[in-house]
Structure 1
Amino acid sequence: MQKLALALAASTIAGSALAADIVDYPPPEPPVAFVPAFSWTGLYVGGQAGGSFNNGSSNAPSSFVFVPGIAATPGTPEIPATPGTPGTPATPGTPAIPGTPGTPATPGTPGIPAVFGTLEYSCTAAAAGAAGAGSCAVIYPDGTSRLNVPAAELSRTLAASGQAITFGQAVEVAVVVTPAVPGTPGTPATPGTPGTPAVPGTPEVPATPGTPLVPATPGTPGVPDQNYAYTFGPTTQNYSDEDDSFAGGGHIGYNYALGALGGNTFVVGAVADLSYVDITKGGGIADGLDTVGIRQELDYLATVRLKAGAGLDRFFVYGTGGVAFGKIETSFVATPFLAAGSDDDTRVGYAVGAGTDYAVTDNLLIGLEYLYTDLGSDDRAFVTPLANGSTLTTRTDEDFDFHTVWGKVSYRFN
């Protein structure tokens, strides 16, 4: 018993000592669960619904009456003149026959030369000696005189008389002159036989004049084409026909998150959609009874666009733009001429806008989007024949453009 008591006591003491050494630690915290941030990368499909409305344009057509011009009448060309007939050249005449030459004259018998007779004259020697120089006046017996007898002639005369002359001496010289005996005249020449005159030729025949030029006849001037604005009367006025429309359809797209952008995510993407849009535009002119007008109606709209923007956690704000396609039916009416017609074509234009998406869950997206769409003009015209060859041409004069606002719901594959 004593051993048992000692053992119990030792056990009690040891238990008390161990109990004093035990530390009371708090329980460990549960592990932190990792929640990944939302990523906009992924493919999505969905639908959209909203409305389209015009931009306030009347789209009134331009109507003109075209009056064709009258072609000019060409004039008659001129008739050239007929050349004249040349004349016959003249016949040359017969040349003259020369006459027979006459008998030459017989020369007469030469006369007897005159001999100096006695003639007194006075003069004053110009110089001493027989060869003195000077002149004197000679007076002949018949009373005639000769002035300025050369000194040589005076010297010869004085030498012949044998007189000696001194300087300044007055001299009188006696000269004997015997009159000349005339010779016997010759026999005059016998004239020749006159020539035969020439025979004149035949005169030239004058040319026959040609036919004169006939002047050209001027043509009738043409009348140019003309265009006139078409009106019905004083009550005529323009009208517009615009109708807004429901727009709805489906879309498919893909977004890709590139990286951080100022604490947000830069996201790019692409989307294609196809929607029913029954929007109409039109206009014309009317006077209460008659109408000339055009109406255009869009049957569907399809776009292929790019998107880019910022992902703000579960919000995505973006801008968008791309190519737009639409089928437009155009109808025409001209009641005054009982004319009507229609045609349709597919046009290509553009669409631009902006929008926002919100990720309700990782897979469910909702959003709102605005688009401005312009499908251009087709330069189409309707031509109505009128009287007298004129026509009425009616065409649209503005682009087919409109606005669209719709809500979107999409399912995202991640």
Structure 2
Amino acid sequence: MKKFLLGTVALIAFAAPAAAADLAARPYTKAPPAPVAVVYDWSGFYIGANGGWGSSRKCWDLTADAIGPIVPAFAEGCHDATGGTAGGQLGYRWQAGTWVFGLEGQGNWADFQGNNVSLFDPTLRNESRIDAFGLITGQVGWAANNVLFYVKGGAAVTGDRFRIRDAATGIVVATTGDDTRWGGVVGAGLEFGFAPNWSAGIEYNHLFMQDRTHDFITNVGGLAFGSDRIRQDVDLVTVRVNYRWGGPVIAKY
């Protein structure tokens, strides 16, 4: 019995170092890498398309009729010329930290129409239409990774048409022809980068357009019909999609 116990103890003593050696020989497993922090860079040239809705407030003051000047000018009333718009934009942005700066040009087709009965002569309706506009703006924005909020401002131009119609028949009585009017614009937008080079957003702009006096000519005979000072501003809401070159997504560990 004593020999058996001594043999068992010796076997255990021999096996213990071998087991310890097995444990030490196990390979080292590297810890998984830290999560990747993705930083979206808004720098680069971009081109895109936009579409939405616009409204232009028009107020007419009659300054002269076919006989002669009207002093003081007679307020003929106001109307909203509303409708849809679609167009495109081209620009460049550069990013410094979380700040983003940019320049952009935009051109749009539009169909903003409206009219009102003249308070000077209720047999007539004053009609206006914007069929195009353009914006040249600078931008300052703040980026939170792939989300960009920005404000913008600059110059605006509209293509206007003004007509006077017979209220009963709708026949055009007098017109001014086409008018190109310059003014200013301020706006703000929110844009989301949904892919490395693609972004989509929504934008609001308000156009401050200068007042202008227009001489109306009869549609038949080309005779002087009268003059109106027309005041206007424009509000725009558009959805935008842009494709950008440069400024790739940068991965940091």
**Interval of TM-score (by shorter of Structure 1 and Structure 2):** 0.7 to 0.9
Distance in 2 between the 1:19 and 1:325 partners? 88
2:64 maps to amino acid: F
| Change beyond 3 A, Cα 1:31–1:301 | same
Aligned ranges for residues 10-409 of structure 1 at < 5 Å?
Answer: 16=15, 19-22=18-21, 23-24=23-24, 25=26, 26-32=28-34, 35-55=37-57, 57=58, 59-65=59-65, 227=70, 238=76, 240-259=78-97, 265-283=98-116, 284-285=118-119, 290-291=123-124, 294-332=126-164, 340-382=174-216, 393-398=226-231, 400-409=232-241
SS at match of 2:18: helix
- Give the match's secondary structure for 1:39: coil
Q: 1:249 to 1:383 in 2, by over 3 A?
A: closer
2:8 is aligned to: none
Q: Deviations over 1:241-284 (max 9, x none)?
A: 4331112211122221112xxxxx01111121111121135552
* TM-score between both structures, scaled by the size of structure 1: 0.47
Alignment coverage as a number of residue pairs: 223
Please list the CA deviations of residues 20-52 of structure 1 after superposition, one character each: whole Å capped at 9, or x if unmatched: 551345523244575542212122222111100
Give the alignment's Cα RMSD to 1 decimal: 3.5
Mark the structure with the bigger radius of gyration. Answer: 1
Distance 1:38 1:271 in 2: 20
Determine the structure 1 residue equivalent to 2:3.
Answer: none
3-state SS of paired residue (1:28) = coil
Percent sequence identity over matched residues?
A: 22
CA distance in 1, matches of 2:121, 2:153: 43
1:65–1:228 Cα contact (<8 Å) kept: no
What letter corresponds to residue 270 of structure 1 in structure 2?
A: L
Contact 1:355 1:368 (C-alpha < 8 Å) held by counterparts: yes
1:371/1:403 contact within 8 Å kept: yes
Q: Is the Cα contact below 8 Å between 1:275 and 1:302 reproduced in 2? A: yes
Q: Deviations over 1:194-228 (max 9, x none)?
A: xxxxxxxxxxxxxxxxxxxxxxxxxxxxxxxx757
* Range moving further from structure 2, 250-259 or 372-381: 372-381
Q: Which residue does the alignment assign to 1:141?
A: none
**Amino acid aligned to 2:42:** W
Q: Label 1:339 to 1:369 Cα distance change in 2 as closer, same or farther (>3 A).
A: closer
Aligned twin of 1:159:
none
Shift of 1:392: 5.8
277 and 358 in structure 1: CA distance in 2 versus 1, 3 angstrom threshold = same
2:153 partner letter: G
Correspondence for 1:78: none
Preserved contact between residue 315 and residue 356 of structure 1 (Cα < 8 Å): yes
Deviations along 1:95-141, whole A, 9 cap, x unmatched?
Answer: xxxxxxxxxxxxxxxxxxxxxxxxxxxxxxxxxxxxxxxxxxxxxxx
- For residues 227 and 243 of structure 1, the distance between their equivalents in structure 2, rounded to whole angstroms, comes to 26
Q: 1:16 to 1:333 in 2, by over 3 A?
A: closer
The structural deviation recorded for 1:18 is 6.1
1:361, distance to aligned residue in structure 2 (A)? 2.1
CA gap 1:256/1:229 in 2 versus in 1, 3 angstroms: closer
Q: 1:19 is matched by which residue type in structure 2? A: A
* Cα distance change, pair 277–32 in 1 and its aligned pair in 2 (3 A): same
In the other structure, the counterpart of 1:90 is none
Per the normalisation by structure 2, the TM-score is 0.73
> 2:106 touches 2:136 (CA, 8 Å); kept in 1?
yes
User: Which residue is 1:412 aligned to?
Assistant: 244
Q: Structure 2: any 5+ residue segments left out of the alignment? A: 1-10, 219-223, 247-253
Mapped to 1, the partners of 2:115 and 2:159 lie a distance apart of 16
Counterpart Cα distance in 2 of 1:30 and 1:323: 54
Specify which structure has the higher proportion of strand: 2
| 1-structure distance, mates of 2:83, 2:229 | 21
